[in-house]
Amino acid sequence: MARPEIVLYHYGISPFARRTVWYLALRGIPYSQCLQPGMLPRPDVARLGISYRRIPVLSIGKDIYLDTRLQLPKLEAMYPELPRLGSSTPEQQGIERLLSAYIIDSGIFQHAVKLLPTDLPFLKDPRYFKDRGDFMGTELSAEGMNKARPEALGEIAAAFELMETTFLADGREWILKTERPGLADIEAVWAFHWLTGVPGALPAERFSAEKFPRVYAWIKRFQEAVTSAKKRLEKPKTLNGEEAAKMIEGSSWNEEEEGGTVDGDDPVVVAEGLGKGCLVAISPTDTGRAHKDVGKLVRLDKDEVVIEVKTAEGESVRVHAPRHGYKVRRFDGEKGVAKL
């Protein structure tokens, strides 16, 4: 049977989306893309019946994956004929997982956001601060960003220092001494790649190829590897929202037809009294918390929660989220949450 098509909903300057774009390129996996605006509203995502506000969103057939922390392992488990990017030893897998947590969960991303120069054109748009205030769950302003800059610079300098003096200290090309960039490199490089690519984000007197030669050379090597991988891969076809939605609605499931089971011993399942078919709301616990997706619970295990939702055309699709960083609650008709 033909493999279901992949569609990536993203926008070009999204550093999180690049994690998935790079993964697809380095692995040589063909996909289509549905390009999104840099802020809400995103009717193309809403068209799929999804309230989640973050980017990227990845569909594989009628299964739709939120969060790069779920998208990368899902892709890693697919396409057995293409060499995987992740390592196969438990120790190295531990390093990959810790790098993901370090960059995403320890606040590096939040500090990096505060370093964006406030004279960037999109930061001059007052709608940006309102939109990103909703994303962060707090009020944002250019003044607040400028105030937070000194601490953020210290935190980011510490992250550069860590990479320079530990993982890359012995002059290796890739974090796990692989021949090509691997998952560990993607997990770590994206925040450094992003910040060094935004003019004015990092002061040249503290951040340069002279101060952090190994980190800067690693970012450059990584970009070159991605550029040549992209040349080998067919350019992704760009679909508009309706084309993408129609393609998804007409696809087969990527995962098993019955969708899986709900772990009756899971503490959230016990506390909320959940079972297969219950209506639940899922939402992130860090950013974009106000955007809850409501659907019928299809599967829940230690790694993943899956719900079934209806697209605007009434077709069933399944939305998958990782358990880490997501809340699952019984849906009791709370006001303001998507109706089913």
Ligand X SMILES: N[C@@H](CCC(=O)N[C@@H](CS)C(=O)NCC(=O)O)C(=O)O
Give me the residues that bind ligand X (CB under 6 A), please: 14-16, 39, 53-55, 67-69, 104, 135, 287
Distance CA 233, CA 30 (A): 7
Q: Closest separation between CB of residue 128 and ligand X, Å?
A: 10
- Name the nearest CA neighbour of 36 among 20, 21, 19, 53: 53
Q: Which stretches within the chain are classed as H helix?
A: 15-27, 43-46, 68-77, 90-105, 108-114, 126-136, 142-162, 183-197, 213-232, 241-249, 267-272
Q: Closest separation between CB of residue 144 and ligand X, Å?
A: 17
Q: Closest separation between CB of residue 53 and ligand X, Å?
A: 5
Residue (136 or 233) nearer to ligand X, CB: 136
Residue (69 or 114) nearer to ligand X, CB: 69
Residue (44 or 67) nearer to ligand X, CB: 67
Nearest residue by C-beta to ligand X?
54
Distance CA 47, CA 225 (A): 35
Q: Scanning the structure block, which residue is given the tokens 């692995």?
A: 27
Cα-based distances in Å from 107 to 100, 103, 112, 117, 303: 11, 7, 8, 19, 22
Q: Closest separation between CB of residue 323 and ligand X, Å?
A: 13
Distance CA 55, CA 291 (A): 13
Residue (27 or 53) nearer to ligand X, CB: 53
Residue (211 or 327) nearer to ligand X, CB: 327
Residue (16 or 167) nearer to ligand X, CB: 16
Q: In terms of C-beta density within 10 A (0-12 exposed, 13-18 middle, 19 or more buried), how is residue 68 classed?
A: buried
Q: Closest separation between CB of residue 104 and ligand X, Å?
A: 6
DSSP output for 153-175: HHHHHHHHHHIIIIITTT--SST
Q: Closest separation between CB of residue 159 and ligand X, Å?
A: 17
8 Å CB contact between 50 and 318: no
Distance CA 245, CA 314 (A): 11
Distance CA 3, CA 308 (A): 21
8 Å CB contact between 16 and 55: yes
Q: Name 302's Cβ contacts closer than 8 Å, sequence gap at least 6.
A: 263, 266, 323
Residue (191 or 280) nearer to ligand X, CB: 191
Residue (72 or 153) nearer to ligand X, CB: 72
Residue (39 or 168) nearer to ligand X, CB: 39
Q: Closest separation between CB of residue 210 and ligand X, Å?
A: 29
Q: Closest separation between CB of residue 88 and ligand X, Å?
A: 23
What DSSP character marks residue 262?
B
Q: Closest separation between CB of residue 287 and ligand X, Å?
A: 5
